[in-house]
Structure 1
Amino acid sequence: MSEPVSITIGNLMDQTTARFPDKEAVVYPELGLRYTFSEFQALCNRVARGLISLGIKPGENIAIWATNVPEWVTTQFASAKMGAVLVTVNTSYRVHELEYLLRQSDSTTLLLIDSFRGVSYTDMLYEICPELNECEPGQLESKRLPRLKNVIFIGDERKPGMFTWGDLLECAENVSDEELARVQSSLKPDDVINMQYTSGTTGFPKGVMLSHKNIVNNAINVAACQNITENDRICIPVPFFHCFGCVMGTLASVATGAVMVPLISFDPLKVLQAVQNEKCTALYGVPTMFIAELNHPEFDTFDLSSLRTGIMAGSPCPIEVMKKVVDVMGASEITIAYGQTESSPVITQTRTNDTIEQRVSTVGRVLPHVEAKIVDPATGEEVAPGEQGELCTRGVHVMKGYYNMPEQTAKAIDNDGWLHTGDLATVDEDGYYKITGRLKDMIIRGGENVYPREIEEFLYQHPKILDVQVVGVPDELYGEQILACIKVKEGETLTIEEVKDFCTGKIARYKIPHYIQVVDEYPMTASGKIQKFRLRENAIKELGLGTK
């Protein structure tokens, strides 16, 4: 087997641009925006020079809180060229989560849009940093976020204390192309360049540190599993703040010379329009996205004959959905991918020539330069093919660690370099993996990982709540929904509306419990441990949810 690729993202971009200078690189159908590789490279270089002009150094953490706007992907490659670590912020975050991420990540710069789905990002930031109202851009002295200095508003409107995107482009004039080239040439493939926050069983999200080498190799290998070349056009409706969008999507496009066709946010009608009008050959999504597209009332009016491949990932794929994507959408070479942020993200993927059974019942085989094994969680010994155990993985894709969390890193990656995924799986004689369950009690709701502990920690802050246990229960549309079983303090009463109101605006909408039960007792083991599986079973019966 050949060696893993060892190149920085900036140099990779320059190589691809040299090969395909006049070929389309980025297309935004909604905005009528089209860049060739040379145009996109020039814009990314300019933004990189602007970031240097603001005093941002290689290795410094800069955060971006935005939908899939063109400035997001431009910032991704611009920051990679000048060495700043891009910290991606979930678009569903609210005040509580944003403040935690900006503080824990030591971010010195934040780029943000105005609002999304009627929620004002700028209002939330002013709530955390009221000092922005009084300061000059770049001069922030925040009590709650002492590291944060620069706020860049993605737009032309003047906001107190913030640079505009236009200001950033103007700042570029202060830095020469030679200076950018010098900085870019000083970067190493093993440097951390991307940081994504994943919820943890500790109750607080952890910053996953990914290097150029981690994500470049993952992007190349994920693209190879789909036979992606410069002749392909990839429709990307999944969010950039996840690896699915910014590694498997945008970076894979730049690695191969394929055209990226992003959507600013997911809308099934816009996906169908983009695939038809831009003749997309690949389509990405979680199962719920494909379901929404297939069930759109106008689905039959679209010509999707250009579709060949793509990726379905994020949560287990129902067999009927996969068959419809192949037979009705025509994506006969669609692939399934499995992984997690800590593994850049893909560990296993099906190939275009795998049978439909293999693509539906398994998550494929390991990528190149990736090892995997199934171990007995109790002994750590490898188990025989067909036996269930914890999936562990090692190789070029494993993260550098969690930011400023050495103990958590040591728990995740053992002394021999194996990342313990926490997922239960089996592998057959041919090397095809099946995910069978989870060691941790993580909930996967519509492709989003939700960790009960994080929601429990948040709800404990409610003055009337004595105890709370959060579990996942089956849901036809989202795969799982969140149930909170709450014990109320003596003498208090608590309504479902009060709980939901307490959550609204403070935690992401997808983390707000869908079901809320007030209980007197929890089912316990003899040693006093709460049996979450019993809470789940009882709720399935009481709520009439069937089995999963």
Structure 2
Amino acid sequence: MNPSTEIKAFSKASILVGPTEPSLWNLTLSQLLKQQTEATPSGQCVVFPEAGYRATYQQLYQNTLAVAKGLLAAGIRRGDNIGIFAGNCPPYVELFFAASHIGAALVVLNCTYSPSELEYALKHSECRLLFISSRIGRISSQEVLQMLENEDDRASLAELQEVILLKKSSQWAFREYADLIRGGGGISDSQITTRMCTVDPNDMCNLQFTSGTTAAPKAAMLTHNNLVNNGRFVGDRMKLSEKDIVCCPPPLFHCFGLVLGLLAALTHGSSIVFPSETFQAQEVLNALSKERCTALHGVPAMFSAELELLQPDVDLSRLRTGIAAGAPVPRKMMMDLRKTFNMSEITNTYGMTETSPASFMTFTDDPVEKRLSTVGKLLPHMRAKIVETNGEIVPTGARGELCVAGFALQIGYWQNPEKTAEVMRTDENGIRWMHTGDEAVFDNEGYCRITGRIKDIIIRGGENILPLEIEERLVQHPSIIQASVIGIANSKYGEAVGAFLQQRASHERPSQEELGKFVRETLGWHKAPVHVFWLRGDEEFPKTGSGKIKKHVLKERGTELVRKEMRLSKL
């Protein structure tokens, strides 16, 4: 391994310092796209098979300039925010770069938002324009569009000057995307160039809402330098080049799709394929085969669905790498991806929206065991430490809360200095640390292992139980496709282990006693699920728009099911 990629590990304390080489780029998104266009103008850049859209670097660049002119004509100024509420589609990528050309920020909105959630996000982020699809995948946006059309509902959105439809629709009176582009016909190239010169790489270019569970979501302010360098270092770890074709099912409203997907590819002259507007496992398999992809991204729930549908006629001969992220990946699934999907160089990545997103990542040539059990080593120009609740750094090998610092950290939460101060704290050396809320441990080689969300840890009789290790054991059972473990309130022990399970159709459902015995073969007796809940038929786990399982929803559901069972037992 190149010395510049090594991590300094301090044996006495859980502190890591990432490499200082290669040096950081100081580029706007606009400058990045122009630079790559000049290097490989005819190279394939972005493909949306569902939309029949295929653009070279030169074509994408020209498209984004046309959109930027439309934005200028619509009155968008430097520092303004514009929003997009859509699935993975060509205008998403065009608007991302077009906004960067003129110094505006793209607010990427979760396309699963309800009308009230969208109203809150638009109001909070002060969007001047909203670009929206009338239909996202198989789901109509009718309720959201009705809210936006209603003058009383729109009254609270004082900053929103216009709603623009991305797809043609006779049902709604809003202006269409093509009209916005035509509206920029009177804007000259020199006007765009002049505006480009005012944009700084440290300006905010992207506003991303975090996944809120018990409170309103917060919006992370991310800069050009945050995103460009993060995408670049991620692509470096994957060994991407202009020969690679990345298949990216994760949504563009999330850092996974936008940075680990789009920008990791574009910083390396690679091509990227977005199989469908919303995740469809069969469309992913079709894209892998037809586009001859070399890399595949996903969260565990996506990989699980793809593995289940895989047929012998799917051509995976060129597939070699990809990223598994968003949630801990069970060991069995990682092995299946290496063997069945030919992903011998699959990587693990860890991060969060607030760190734009990656801070740790494995290398393609890391030992298999390290890629199975850890999230790798720090990216360049990052620092990390593990602390106790009192802020003291723990010894190497001990668990605690993971904190990270460096180039990838957000500016802060938009219009929310209180929440920013809660999680971003400056130490006595002037280093600003992001407190992640994740429990982790470092080994002596500088690898990081995430042991769970601190709030997800089950505390049974004063003993901490990690859901991940139970989930990894449960999915080794031939009858189980996927498992999610949560804590259920218990009057005697405080909490008991509960497990939601998805059954493999071709196998018999084991009894709770059988499952308990299976878990205890490798784990302690107290880690066997006390409460087991099976998903019904084609039912899926509740997920965020980015594909993560909503554990808080399962916890609420499990608690209610146990209460109901107790009430019935007393009758």
TMscore range, shorter length: 0.7 to 0.9
1:330 Cα deviation after fit: 0.5
1:116 Cα deviation after fit: 2.8
1:127 Cα deviation after fit: 2.1
Q: Aligned partners of 1:383 and 1:81: how far apart in 2?
A: 45
Q: Which residue of 1 aligns with 2:99?
A: 79
1:439-464 alpha-carbon deviations (Å, 9 max, x no partner)? 335999999x9x99xxxxxxxxxxxx
The structure 1 residue matched to 2:369, chosen from 353, 357, 366, is: 357
1:190-229 alpha-carbon deviations (Å, 9 max, x no partner)? 0000011013476110000000000111000111110011
1:239-289 alpha-carbon deviations (Å, 9 max, x no partner)? 110000011111222211100111222111111111111111010000111
Give the TM-score normalised by the residue count of structure 1: 0.80
* 1:17 aligns to 2:30 (yes or no): no
1:94 is aligned with what amino acid? S
The structure 2 residue matched to 1:249, chosen from 256, 261, 264, is: 261
* 1:300 aligns to 2:312 (yes or no): yes
* 1:339 aligns to 2:351 (yes or no): yes
| Count of residue pairs the alignment pairs up | 470
Q: Aligned partners of 2:563 and 2:451: how far apart in 1?
A: 22
Q: Aligned partners of 2:80 and 2:496: how far apart in 1?
A: 37
Alignment of 1:456-475 (within 5 A): 474-475=499-500
1:190 is aligned with what amino acid? N
Q: Aligned partners of 1:439 and 1:115: how far apart in 2?
A: 37
* 1:320 aligns to 2:332 (yes or no): yes
Alignment of 1:234-245 (within 5 A): 234-245=246-257
Alignment of 1:130-529 (within 5 A): 130-131=150-151, 142-158=154-170, 160-200=172-212, 203-263=215-275, 264-296=277-309, 298-378=310-390, 380-415=391-426, 416-441=431-456, 474-477=499-502, 513=553
Q: Aligned partners of 2:219 and 2:146: how far apart in 1?
A: 24
Q: Which residue of 1 aligns with 2:82?
A: 62
1:126 Cα deviation after fit: 2.3
Listed as ranges, the gaps of 5+ residues in structure 1 are: 133-140, 453-469, 479-502, 519-534, 543-548
Distance 1:517 1:376, change over 3 A: closer
Q: Which residue of 1 aligns with 2:478?
A: none
Moved more, 189-198 or 81-90: 81-90
8 Å CA contact 2:299–2:548 kept in 1: the answer is no
1:383 is aligned with what amino acid? V
8 Å CA contact 2:362–2:376 kept in 1: the answer is yes
Moved more, 387-396 or 194-203: 194-203
1:216 is aligned with what amino acid? V
Q: Aligned partners of 1:411 and 1:373: how far apart in 2?
A: 17
Distance 1:292 1:202, change over 3 A: closer
1:510 Cα deviation after fit: 7.3
Q: Which residue of 2 aligns with 1:34?
A: 54
Distance 1:175 1:362, change over 3 A: same
2:329 is aligned with what amino acid? C
SS at match of 2:317: coil
SS at match of 1:300: coil
1:86-126 alpha-carbon deviations (Å, 9 max, x no partner)? 11111111112111101111111110000235543243232
1:349 is aligned with what amino acid? M
Q: Aligned partners of 1:425 and 1:538: how far apart in 2?
A: 31
1:128 Cα deviation after fit: 4.7
How large is the RMSD of aligned CA atoms in angstroms? Answer: 3.2
Q: Which residue of 2 aligns with 1:50?
A: 70
SS at match of 2:408: coil
Q: Which residue of 1 aligns with 2:523?
A: none
Q: Which residue of 2 aligns with 1:463?
A: none
Distance 1:128 1:21, change over 3 A: closer
Q: Aligned partners of 1:515 and 1:417: how far apart in 2?
A: 34
Q: Aligned partners of 2:497 and 2:89: how far apart in 1?
A: 32
Q: Aligned partners of 1:472 and 1:419: how far apart in 2?
A: 30
Distance 1:439 1:150, change over 3 A: same
Q: Which residue of 1 aligns with 2:124?
A: 104
2:500 is aligned with what amino acid? D
1:111 is aligned with what amino acid? F
8 Å CA contact 1:288–1:477 kept in 2: the answer is no
1:17-39 alpha-carbon deviations (Å, 9 max, x no partner)? 00000111112223332111111
1:536 Cα deviation after fit: 11
8 Å CA contact 2:240–2:268 kept in 1: the answer is yes
Q: Aligned partners of 2:216 and 2:65: how far apart in 1?
A: 35
Distance 1:277 1:472, change over 3 A: farther
Q: Aligned partners of 1:57 and 1:321: how far apart in 2?
A: 47
Distance 1:190 1:477, change over 3 A: farther
1:299 Cα deviation after fit: 2.1
Distance 1:158 1:172, change over 3 A: farther
2:205 is aligned with what amino acid? I
SS at match of 1:230: coil
Distance 1:338 1:125, change over 3 A: same
1:157 Cα deviation after fit: 2.6
Q: Aligned partners of 2:422 and 2:556: how far apart in 1?
A: 32
Distance 1:395 1:513, change over 3 A: closer
1:483-529 alpha-carbon deviations (Å, 9 max, x no partner)? xxxxxxxxxxxxxxxxxxxx9xxxx99769457669xxxxxxxxxxx
Q: Aligned partners of 2:250 and 2:204: how far apart in 1?
A: 23
Moved more, 172-181 or 234-243: 172-181
Q: Which residue of 2 aligns with 1:499?
A: none
8 Å CA contact 1:151–1:161 kept in 2: the answer is no
Q: Aligned partners of 2:205 and 2:498: how far apart in 1?
A: 37
Distance 1:417 1:202, change over 3 A: farther
Q: Which residue of 2 aligns with 1:491?
A: none
Distance 1:78 1:539, change over 3 A: farther
